[in-house]
């Protein structure tokens, strides 16, 4: 359950429904949509997933290519998506809005369709560079994957829209500025000034582990000083004295990375931390990475705590721990299967699928087949590499191997699997 823009609470639909599966970016949603493509409700569900950003974590979860593929495969009308895009562009205020997700989803869907050669999408986003309020975001999107000939002639339009603030914020060595700087002095001059900015100050002389540990144990040291000391300590030999300081340092950036370098030496402390208190997730993560089989019940308990708290972040770390232990972690299987069905945090499904295969290959068969059409490229890559080959999966792999929407790595893996046997 998540709050919407007006503070009202909104629920994901049940994953067994078409809309619920599409909201989560699941492969089963694609299968349902293809099967029932003549049902008007299918297109409505896809449009609804473009109109509202359903990603749990917009920094890592992916949905643009997934939805664009559905629009293409179902031969859907682009007009409603264009209307959504222009409405979102008009209503979006980046200075005050915390929810620009719908704009980005519509933009990414159109960019992906344009990347595959859909002329309607290409024309719409080229027009947006000239007319949209948030044209710089559009320009960033289309110059990332589109061929140069699709955007190179927009330079004069862009120059007419550039403000002095834009020149300070945007111009640099990435495209399209690197290309346009060669023929426009107005772009070349700020780009050159960027290159002439003073270099970073030299790196200070490294401090010894004793000095760094003293800083970490100093109650008068600031959080920034402690974080800097931890970053330096990571470059030194693993430091056992951190274990006795960890509780006081909890919340300091880089603490987990520094403690994790101790490996099995941290397990004893981690077992205590994982029992309860504010460090229980910290301790469980260490056990997932370095614990032994006797720690499986502790990982199961940590998993159940997350589930009962209605959390969706952190399961991937625990799933990686179950994958380390393989079949002896059988108690994790029903939990992994429930996670696969229910989580809206699509980025973590890769770890879930990897753990299912490691712990119970039979339980992973259906999820692997669904994973071929998942919204996350990591899930698709893993599924392509490990799915059982039969006439159905071969047909799906054949489509992925030649799909311009698909990532190069997935296309390569799919072609390799098809050629292997």
- Per-residue pLDDT of 58-89, as tens digits, reads 999 999 999 999 999 999 999 999 999 999 99
- Per-residue pLDDT of 247-288, as tens digits, reads 999 999 999 999 999 999 999 999 999 998 899 999 999 999
Per-residue confidence (pLDDT) for residue 98, from 0 to 100: 44
Which among 335, 388, 415, 396 has a CA at the least distance from the CA of 30?
A: 396
Per-residue confidence (pLDDT) for residue 195, from 0 to 100: 54
Rounded to the nearest 10 degrees, how much is the dihedral formed by the CA atoms of 230, 235, 241, 242?
A: 40
Residue 213 sits at φ, ψ, to 5 deg, of: -65, -35
- Per-residue pLDDT of 178-203, as tens digits, reads 889 888 888 887 655 555 556 666 76
Per-residue confidence (pLDDT) for residue 178, from 0 to 100: 85
- Residue 260 structure tokens: 């994790």
Is the pLDDT score of 141 beyond 60? yes
d(CA 94, CA 133): 11
d(CA 229, CA 250): 14
User: Which residues are CB-neighbours of 191 under 8 A, at least 6 positions away?
Assistant: 171, 172, 173, 177, 178, 181
d(CA 192, CA 195): 5
**H-helix segments, 310-406:** 315-325, 333-342, 349-359, 361-371, 377-386, 391-401
Q: At what angle do helices 40-51 and 27-35 cross, to 10 degrees?
A: 150
d(CA 299, CA 282): 12
Is the pLDDT score of 139 beyond 90? yes
Burial, 74: exposed, middle or buried (Cβ in 10 Å; 0-12, 13-18, 19+)?
A: middle
- Residue 94 structure tokens: 């980046």
Residue whose structure tokens are 């550039």: 162
Average pLDDT across the chain, whole number:
92
Length of the chain in terms of residues written: 421
- Residue 262 structure tokens: 């101790």
- Per-residue pLDDT of 31-40, as tens digits, reads 999 999 999 9
d(CA 278, CA 290): 20
Q: Which band of pLDDT confidence, cut at 50, 70 and 90, is reported for residue 13?
A: very high
Per-residue confidence (pLDDT) for residue 240, from 0 to 100: 97
Which among 382, 384, 381 has a CA at the least distance from the CA of 419?
A: 384
Is the pLDDT score of 6 beyond 70? no
- Per-residue pLDDT of 349-377, as tens digits, reads 999 999 999 999 999 999 999 999 999 99
Is the pLDDT score of 297 beyond 80? yes
Per-residue confidence (pLDDT) for residue 1, from 0 to 100: 47
Paired with 2 in beta bridges are 10
- For residues 147-168, give the mean pLDDT: 91
């Amino acid at each position: 359950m998540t709050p919407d823009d007006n503070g009202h609470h909104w629920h994901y639909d049940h994953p067994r429904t078409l809309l619920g599966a599409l909201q989560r970016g699941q492969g089963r949603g694609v299968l349902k949509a293809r099967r029932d493509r003549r049902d008007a409700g299918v297109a409505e569900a896809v449009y609804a997933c473009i109109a509202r950003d359903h990603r749990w974590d917009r920094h890592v979860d992916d949905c643009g290519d997934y939805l664009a593929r559905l629009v293409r495969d179902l031969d859907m009308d682009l007009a409603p998506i264009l209307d959504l895009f222009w409405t979102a562009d008009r209503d979006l205020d980046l200075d005050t809005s915390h929810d620009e997700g719908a704009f980005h989803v519509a933009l990414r869907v159109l960019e992906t369709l344009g990347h595959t050669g859909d002329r309607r999408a290409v024309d719409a986003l080229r027009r947006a560079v000239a007319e949209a309020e948030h044209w710089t975001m559009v320009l960033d999107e289309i110059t990332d994957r589109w061929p140069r000939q699709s955007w190179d002639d927009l330079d004069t339009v862009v120059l007419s829209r550039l403000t002095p603030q834009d020149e300070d914020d945007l111009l640099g060595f990435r495209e399209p500025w690197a290309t346009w700087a060669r023929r426009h002095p107005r772009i070349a001059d700020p780009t050159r000034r960027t290159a002439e900015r003073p270099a970073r100050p030299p790196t200070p002389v490294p401090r010894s582990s004793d000095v760094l540990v003293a800083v970490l144990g100093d109650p008068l040291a600031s959080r920034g000083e402690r974080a800097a000391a931890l970053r330096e300590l990571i470059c030194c030999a693993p430091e056992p004295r951190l274990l006795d300081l960890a509780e006081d340092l909890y919340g300091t950036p880089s603490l987990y990375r520094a403690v994790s370098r101790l490996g099995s030496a941290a397990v004893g402390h981690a077992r205590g931390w994982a029992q309860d208190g504010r460090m229980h997730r910290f301790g469980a993560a260490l056990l997932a990475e370095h614990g032994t089989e006797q720690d499986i019940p502790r990982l199961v308990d940590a998993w159940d705590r997350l589930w009962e708290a209605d959390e969706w972040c952190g399961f991937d770390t625990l799933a990686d721990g179950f994958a380390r232990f393989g079949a002896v972690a059988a108690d994790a299987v029903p939990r992994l299967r429930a996670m696969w069905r229910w989580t809206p945090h699509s980025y973590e499904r890769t770890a879930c699928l990897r753990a299912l295969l490691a712990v119970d290959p039979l339980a992973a068969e259906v999820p692997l087949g669904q994973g071929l059409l998942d919204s996350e490229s990591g899930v698709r890559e893993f599924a392509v590499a490990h799915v059982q080959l039969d006439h159905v999966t071969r047909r799906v792999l054949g489509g992925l191997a030649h799909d311009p929407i698909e990532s190069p790595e997935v296309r390569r893996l799919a072609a390799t699997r098809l050629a292997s046997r």
